[in-house]
Amino acid sequence: MKTWPSANGLAHIDAHDALADVRATIEITKILRAAQPKLYDFMFRLRDKKAVLQQLYPLGKNPVVHVSAMYPASRGCTAVVMPICQHPSNNNAIICFDLSQAPESLISASAAELARLVFTSNDKLEENEQRIALKTIQINRCPFVAPLATLNDESAERLGIDRSQSESRAIQLMGVAGLVEKIQEAYTAGAIMRTRKTLIISSTRAASSRMRTGTPCLSYSQFPRSSSEALRVGFRMIAWTKCCSGIGEGTIQSCSMKPN
């Protein structure tokens, strides 16, 4: 918000002040509407989920242009993506593949491997591994999606997008049997991974707090059995860390270190 107003001839004195930012956004929107009325009307219609779905369906058939902050600024936050399938647990999400990435890894990976390569952060991947470029478009959050035809050659070159390559990769994905089922299975597994991670983090933080105060920790029977092994490791790590930090032995022993 510091540069947009001045670039469009607007005075914006209190940048990042909530009210000033709102006013600046309204003025920029007015300028956009006056300069590109058709684009404005098209974007405004995307408030309706049905309008968004019209751009994405039929799934797995036509690549579209997607503008989002999830893509690098070097590409103008723009990507050509292939909408592939419905999210298995979120009716407002469509899973897409960013066609700037070669699809061979997506095609060859198993569901378990796909879940790992989608939901693992880059710093935890092996040196030669790359996250698979699956993204979700939230149809109830006014996403900007448009037909591929709206991306002319000049704009594609400016954004560093190879249209012909994107189209050939989209065709490659169309012929992959079982791709939808594999992706949905991977996203189901990813949801479980995230739930377990959240549980472990909250549990270990609670254990750490209880150790500092000498309060006995919760027994393992109070946690889901599917996470018991991970919690055991987490509690032992905390106990070892606190021990090395000089907390008395009695405090550590007050924590239940064995499952019931």
pLDDT tens digit string along 180-217?
999 999 999 887 766 655 655 666 666 666 666 665 55
pLDDT at 259 over 80: no
Sheet of 78-86, strand order = 134-138, 93-98, 78-86, 64-67, 144-147
Name the percent of the chain lying above pLDDT 90. Answer: 55
Asked whether residue 227 carries a pLDDT value surpassing 80, the answer given is no
**8 A C-beta contact, residue 17 and residue 26:** no
24 neighbors 12 (Cβ within 8 angstroms): yes
131/172 Cα distance (integer angstroms): 19
Q: Which domains does the chain have, with CATH numbers?
A: 1-35 (no CATH), 46-176 (3.30.1520.20), 194-253 (no CATH)
The answer on pLDDT for 89 being more than 50 is: yes
Judged against a pLDDT cut of 90, whether residue 8 lies above it is answered with no
3-state DSSP assignment of residue 95: strand
CA distance 72 to 79: 9
**24 CB burial (10 A radius; 0-12, 13-18, 19+):** buried
Per-residue pLDDT at 126: 87
Task: Yes or no: say if 171 and 63 are a contact pair by the CB < 8 Å rule.
Answer: no
User: Is the per-residue pLDDT at 247 higher than 70?
Assistant: no
94: β partners: 86, 137
pLDDT band at residue 128 using 50, 70 and 90 as cut-offs? confident
pLDDT at 165 over 80: yes
Number of other residues whose CB lies within 10 A of the CB of residue 127 = 4
CA distance 216 to 214: 6
Nearest alpha-carbon partner for 95 in 119, 59, 67, 46: 59
Q: Does pLDDT of 105 surpass 80?
A: yes
